[in-house]
Amino acid sequence: MATEAKAHELIVSVSPHVRGKETVGRIMWTVNLSLLPAFIMSVYYFGPLAAYVTGLCILSAVLTEHIYQVSLNKKTTIGDGSAFLTGLLLGLNLPASVPFYIPIVGSFIAIVITKLLFGGLGYNIFNPALIGRAFLLISFPRLMTIWLKPTAQFVSLDAKTTATPLGILKEGGLDQLMQVFGDKADLYMSLLVGNRAGSLGETSVIALLIGAALLLYRGYITWHIPFSFLATVGVMAWALGGDSGFFTGDPLIHLLSGGLILGAFFMATDYVTCPSIRKGQIVFGIGCGLITMLIRLKGGFPEGVMFAILLMNCFAPLIDRGVKSKMFGAIKEQKK
């Protein structure tokens, strides 16, 4: 037989022999990029403290992952951007005033306990950043609910503190919220641009929507979870959130405040912990919305997005099992 080609070492592998451009790293770093506007707004309103807290979260998340993997003789995966993202999301979910050990403890819980001990990216059941935050909120309830007034100036630790809009709504009702913010238009505007107390990254709705638009445009997230989540919150707020009976609530206040936009677009959509089938994602989003509003309206916490997403994370595999997508050829009768 001819031996012409023997000079070449040929690689044999299973088809397909060409691949698309998408990689895990590309996706994760794009999500990181999409949170840049929210980060910038947090620095604008809460000053260098915002950069300090978020930076410390990112640094400790990345370092924790690296040290854990290297010390166990595993390949370090910090290059894929997911540890960076966990740190960034955790940072954007913290108040500006937390002491230095809060980001470090939170990152450890998020990276080691929630992600790596379950097998690393892809195997975790819960959203790591949210478990980190939930742990901190339960362990350090006081520190985690000191909200600084947004001043758009340098803020030090003895800056004035205030309550979040949802906190005011819970304690004093809509009337008190109006007293603080003026009329409805002022309130909406404050919520949109982020001129309000809250976690660092959650306050500026506009900045978050810019990032969300990038993710939707790139196809990294789809409308299914955010839309069903927001729609459920809106309907529930309208139907049950009013002071003067059913269907008198103001859905916009609930849609624009708290961590809803951050949660619906950037956390509930976490690939690993949400259903992968689109139909199931709608169920997931509705579930998130229901639990969020249940907590906001009836629960002890003013805000319920975090617990809602975490609770629905448990159901993600079950939802995927329940809503198998329609198979090609799965039809009983058809025209011929």
> What residues make contact with another protein under the rule CB under 8 A?
1-5, 8-20, 22-24, 26-27, 77, 80, 119-123, 271-272, 274, 276-278, 320, 324-331, 334, 336
Q: How many angstroms separate the CA atoms of 190 and 184, rounded?
A: 10
What is the smallest separation between the CB atom of 72 and another protein, expressed in angstroms?
16
Residues with Cβ within 8 Å of residue 83, at least 6 apart in sequence = 61, 62, 64, 65, 66, 77, 111
What is the smallest separation between the CB atom of 130 and another protein, expressed in angstroms?
17
Nearer to another protein, 184 or 218 (CB): 218
What is the smallest separation between the CB atom of 16 and another protein, expressed in angstroms?
3
Residues with Cβ within 8 Å of residue 121, at least 6 apart in sequence = 24, 77, 80, 82, 115, 272
What is the smallest separation between the CB atom of 38 and another protein, expressed in angstroms?
22
Nearer to another protein, 23 or 139 (CB): 23
What is the smallest separation between the CB atom of 111 and another protein, expressed in angstroms?
16
Tokens representing residue 58 in the block: 């990112």
Please state the φ and ψ torsions of residue 320, each to the nearest 5 degrees: -60, -35
Q: How many angstroms from the chain centroid is the CA of residue 97?
A: 20
SS3 55: helix
- Which of the 8 DSSP states describes residue 272? G
Residues with Cβ within 8 Å of residue 284, at least 6 apart in sequence = 225, 228, 268, 274, 275, 312, 315, 316, 319
Nearer to another protein, 3 or 71 (CB): 3
What is the smallest separation between the CB atom of 65 and another protein, expressed in angstroms?
14
Please state the φ and ψ torsions of residue 147, each to the nearest 5 degrees: -105, 125
| Element spanning 102, H or E | helix 101-108
Tokens representing residue 68 in the block: 């854990």
Nearer to another protein, 60 or 273 (CB): 273
Residues with Cβ within 8 Å of residue 324, at least 6 apart in sequence = 277
Q: Are 41 and 203 in contact (CB under 8 A)?
A: yes
What is the smallest separation between the CB atom of 116 and another protein, expressed in angstroms?
12
Nearer to another protein, 219 or 300 (CB): 219
Nearer to another protein, 1 or 138 (CB): 1
Nearer to another protein, 81 or 249 (CB): 81
Nearer to another protein, 120 or 172 (CB): 120
Residues with Cβ within 8 Å of residue 117, at least 6 apart in sequence = none
Tokens representing residue 73 in the block: 């003789």
What is the smallest separation between the CB atom of 275 and another protein, expressed in angstroms?
8
Q: How many angstroms separate the CA atoms of 62 and 82, rounded?
A: 9
